[in-house]
Amino acid sequence: MLIPLEGEATLYISRMGSLQTSKEAKIGLKIREVASPEDFSRKLKTEAGRFKGLGFDDAPYSLISRLKKAGLRLAQHAEAVVKLRQVKEAWEIKAIRRAVRLAEEALAEASKYVKPGVSELEVAAAAERVLRLGGSEFYPFSTLVASGFRASYPHAEPTRKKIRDGEPVVVDLGAKVSGYCADLTRTFFAGKPGEAVAEAWRAVLEARDEAIRGIKPGMTGSEADRLARETLAKHGLEKFFIHGLGHGVGLEVHEAPSLSSAGKEKLVEGMVFTVEPGVYVAGRFGVRVEDTVLLEKGGVKLLTGKLGRELISLL
């Protein structure tokens, strides 16, 4: 899409998608069909050649090389788009809330299958059925289900592994409604877990609560991350928290801002992001809880509703 400082935006699209886009686009666009990458380069040069330069958000190296050969002056300006997307308007928040509700329903259904003898794939299938029937337009990412020792892998996709008695089962899933995403994680237990797992889970819940209470506008992403990290450190578990506290959520399930030790950007009112502390003891077990939240003037507001709160296991 070419967006000039003044005037109408132009969307360049293949012939396969032009009819659907013209019928279903939510905003007014000038649509130009392209037959090939070379055709796109020629048409873009004709349209954009009058500009002093052309900034781009993200593009494959092959496309950038082709556009440069066509004589276009290019510079990456992803930050401009990132900043526009970080602070959500009311209608965007409404769409994210709907996605969160759907994700909660999927987690609730998944929880019914967390029992000894059921495979991780069966748990994922139960959740994904609810997502599709409930109106999720797409899975923002592959539904993650990991039990027992596999729960120590933060991004473990489901396998045929059968759940065993007492194991933690981490279920991380997303929904997409009106183009906007939700991202939620719950850890369920197939029976009574061992004491080490229970202690780690209680510490993770404490870290979650401390972060939700403590995050305020004006803090940096690294300061928010530190709230959870220091809580886990009190329990001797900080070294097992191997990722950041959270990430922005919107049109993409992972976007700015970054709530991590590297997060230098200040958090501002209207941002939507996740809070997701976790503990991963390699080869033994893992536990994580994740909510999608909205930053308001007074602090964090959970977008998770009653159902999502009820799905937090209290040991």
Give Cα separations from 314 to 120, 121, 134, 188 (angstroms).
Answer: 22, 25, 28, 10
Contact assessment for residue 261 and residue 222, using Cβ atoms and an 8 Å cutoff: yes
* CA 313 from centroid of its chain's CA atoms: 22
- What pTM was estimated for this model as a whole? 0.90
Dist CA 51 CA 48 (whole Å): 6
Question: So where are the chain's domains?
Answer: 10-76, 86-310
32 vs 211 pLDDT, higher one: 211
pLDDT digits (tens, 9 = 90+) for 112-160: 999 999 999 999 999 999 999 999 998 899 999 999 999 999 999 999 9
Dist CA 278 CA 200 (whole Å): 9
- The answer on pLDDT for 308 being more than 70 is yes
Q: What percent of the chain has pLDDT over 90?
A: 69
Q: Rg of the chain over CA atoms, in angstroms?
A: 22
What average pLDDT does the segment 214-223 reach? Answer: 98
Dist CA 138 CA 123 (whole Å): 18
Query: What does the pLDDT read at residue 51?
Result: 72
Q: What is the CATH number of domain 86-310?
A: 3.90.230.10
- The answer on pLDDT for 293 being more than 90 is yes
pLDDT digits (tens, 9 = 90+) for 61-120: 888 888 788 777 877 776 777 888 999 999 999 999 999 999 999 999 999 999 999 999
Contact assessment for residue 144 and residue 156, using Cβ atoms and an 8 Å cutoff: yes
Dist CA 126 CA 118 (whole Å): 11
- The answer on pLDDT for 28 being more than 80 is no
